Amino acid sequence: MLSNLRIFAVSHQTIPSVHINNICCYKVRASLKRLKPHVPLGRNYSSLPGLIGNDIKSLHSIINPPIAKIRNIGIMAHIDAGKTTTTERILYYSGYTRSLGDVDDGDTVTDFMAQERERGITIQSAAVTFDWKGYRVNLIDTPGHVDFTLEVERCLRVLDGAVAVFDASAGVEAQTLTVWRQADKHNIPRICFLNKMDKTGASFKYAVESIREKLKAKPLLLQLPIGEARTFKGVVDVVTKEKLLWNSNSNDGKDFERKPLLEMSDPELLKETTEARNALIEQVADLDDEFADVVLEEFSENFDLLPAEKLQTAIHRVTLAQTAVPVLCGSALKNKGIQPLLDAVTMYLPSPEERNYEFLQWYKDDLCALAFKVLHDKQRGPLVFMRIYSGTIKPQLAIHNVNGNCTERISRLLLPFADQHVEIPSLTAGNIALTVGLKHTATGDTIVSSKSSALAAARRAEREGEKKHGQNNEAERVLLAGVEIPEPVFFCTIEPPSVSKQPDLEHALKCLQREDPSLKVRLDPDSGQTVLCGMGELHIEIIHDRIKREYGLETYLGPLQVAYRETILNSVCATDTLDRTLGDKRHLVTVEVEARPIETSSVTPVIEYAESISEGLLKVSQEAIESGIHSACLQGPLLGSPVQDVAITLHSLTIHPGTSTTMISACVSRCVQKALKKADKQVLEPLMSLEVTVARDYLSPVLADLAQRRGNIQEIQTRQDNKVVIGFVPLADIMGYSTVLRTLTSGSATFALELSTYQAMNSQDQNTLLNRRSGLT
């Protein structure tokens, strides 16, 4: 078997562009005639990781490395901090690609969608697998745009570590804060990489200070830059007291020399590095007791004698405990500092076995995996990305979907390489796999080997929960933990070119919804039109473009509209009776409900029952009652928008024997709608938190424009030579803002938007909105 593999490894060099989708690893007798010499956009990809040159590894070590040698990491950052460029360099130095891709040229590996290449931004996360110095790294490049925050969230859910990339001239920016909070939520250890050290205005000191102040993190300086902006030429390794200089004549940054700092040649740099190393040792000793004991016992007199290995081990422990974050620097575009970053990933970020997942004890060695992303491939159908927490996945394996309560069969198993994949015979715990053949699995579904396995795990979890004072609800939640999907804030109608194309549009939207859970599609009950609900203008624009390119449908979008909400201001009661005879059966229901406002913010109505309602009656009709209340609150009396921040109390319920649950639900729904109509009503509008980075010269026109848009400025900060305006502005007044801002500032300003909350509109704005909706203005 190995000899056949050796033949393939030698042969692959003579075919420079083999489409990697067709390489079937476990059928090693794959003859060359099965390989199609075609790679999109003419990129040259190398063969399987580990098969570079004549470096032949056993097939098993390539596909299933020891779990301690696996690193599942994500690259996360604000827009334009250099995530994709960093990923591109990582793939090149690890031997996966043979040429350096560029975002501006539109030929990067992870930005493979046409929309990404045109706009120069990442829209959907892409996974790549590669080897680095004996370690298997599963890397996910995530988007930085706020419209695609969910894409970052669902990837962080399955990762063990992350690299946060910063623009060294800007430090911590708006979206950096968002992704940092997401990483905190999932307890992800992370490394900071200060990118763009060669950029005009780059400041290592400023960037580190912004991490300390804005992210409330403790930075561990593992590197110091040699020069900044135009003079940047390398970095100093503080741990080993060595300088790393990149060859200025080298086009790809592969050639760099590592030299120890000497008193004779670099007295100033050595002094600065020694001070930084001593400060680092003290900082780590404060955070790690084990390391503090070693330092006090053996090296308290002279920190220079402390071996680098002991310091690195302590930094690894501190990173895992998330009490501090290692900080490195470089310039991805100028090919400097990437190799030390890869070393830091393998050295300081955790392996899967070092992360403590409580639910693993309930599964023992049975299969437990989480589906975190779905893609649609025209040839293969749905491709499901899975993180394997325990057990092994193989092709032709029947698996049980706990969330969907269905059993499916995996037809093929692949290793992800952006838009190209390698077929494999099996994959063990700790890895990220790509499966073909799962028709019903969606994002956030828990995958197990069988229904009995899930039940056994649930029983173990319940027993454990009872020991901890009956926390079995918590156990059940962790068992099926998925991803929280944010509510959409924009919506618009979408129309097919003709009625005959409506089924094709519905199929396209169904596939896109499965890929992107933040996209919602609903049918307008009044007009019968299809309504798209998304996270922002760019999100809806991308969906429209994808329908055109991928499904060949020229659709028409209606004007973008804001997703308002409604609430009530006072308490009201209403009674309703429904009396229908269908066939020879009489359905009679009488309901009395009270609707009142609540102070705590709640998207769904809070349902309460009066003491007079008997338990026996509730037992048979509770589901129908709650269904009726929820459906009534989906469409408010003013704009037909969802009603929030209300409590509905059921005071009395009389049901004639033989009345169907559908009639109960309909009567309750009608009664709640009657109560909402009687109450004093209020429209709530989405309020966005806004951050505008603008040059001092253009600050006045930007502030004047925001004042016209009902903006509320909270503070104006200084960031290097720029001003950062932070405030709140209603979403209805910020539509199309990017074009206006570009005009006001000659294209020099940038801005970031994020949904903050829903706020009550004043009566004048509310009346204007209602008149506009009813066609009076």
78 annotated as a binding-site residue = yes
Distance, in Å, from the CA atom of 650 to the CA atom of 669, rounded to the nearest integer, reads 12
Instruction: Find the Cα–Cα–Cα–Cα dihedral 523, 529, 535, 539, rounded to 10°.
Output: 130
196 annotated as a binding-site residue = yes
* DSSP string computed for 216-276: ---EEE-EEEES-GGG--EEEETTTTEEEEE-TT-SSS--EEEEE--TTT-HHHHHHHHHH
81 annotated as a binding-site residue = yes
Q: How many Cβ atoms from other residues are within 10 Å of residue 15's Cβ?
A: 11
Evaluate the CA torsion angle 745, 746, 750, 753 in order and state its sign: positive
510 annotated as a binding-site residue = no
Distance, in Å, from the CA atom of 544 to the CA atom of 538, rounded to the nearest integer, reads 10
164 annotated as a binding-site residue = no
Q: Is 184 exposed, middle or buried (0-12, 13-18, 19+ CB in 10 A)?
A: middle
Q: Which residues contact 295 (CB under 8 A, 6 or more apart)?
A: 281, 285, 303, 306
Helix (H, G, I), strand (E, B) or coil at 204: helix
Distance, in Å, from the CA atom of 307 to the CA atom of 298, rounded to the nearest integer, reads 11
77 annotated as a binding-site residue = yes
Distance, in Å, from the CA atom of 88 to the CA atom of 108, rounded to the nearest integer, reads 6
82 annotated as a binding-site residue = yes
* DSSP string computed for 434-472: EEE--SS--TT-EEES-HHHHHHHHHHHHHHHHHTTS-H
Distance, in Å, from the CA atom of 609 to the CA atom of 611, rounded to the nearest integer, reads 6
Q: Is 492 exposed, middle or buried (0-12, 13-18, 19+ CB in 10 A)?
A: middle
Strands (E), 731-764: 750-760
Instruction: Find the Cα–Cα–Cα–Cα dihedral 440, 441, 442, 446, rounded to 10°.
Output: 140
Q: What is the DSSP letter of 498?
A: S
Side-chain half-sphere exposure of 672, counting CA atoms within 13 A = 28
User: Quick one: tokens of 723?
Assistant: 């001003």
* Whole-number CA gyration radius for the chain: 29
142 annotated as a binding-site residue = yes
Decide if 659 contacts 587 (C-beta within 8 A): yes
79 annotated as a binding-site residue = yes
141 annotated as a binding-site residue = yes
Helix (H, G, I), strand (E, B) or coil at 717: strand
Decide if 707 contacts 664 (C-beta within 8 A): no
Distance, in Å, from the CA atom of 12 to the CA atom of 52, rounded to the nearest integer, reads 10
114 annotated as a binding-site residue = no
Decide if 492 contacts 540 (C-beta within 8 A): yes
Q: Which amino acid is at 293?
A: D
278 annotated as a binding-site residue = no
144 annotated as a binding-site residue = yes
Residues within the annotated binding site for GTP?
77-84, 141-145, 195-198
Mark the binding-site residues, compressed into ranges: 77-84, 141-145, 195-198
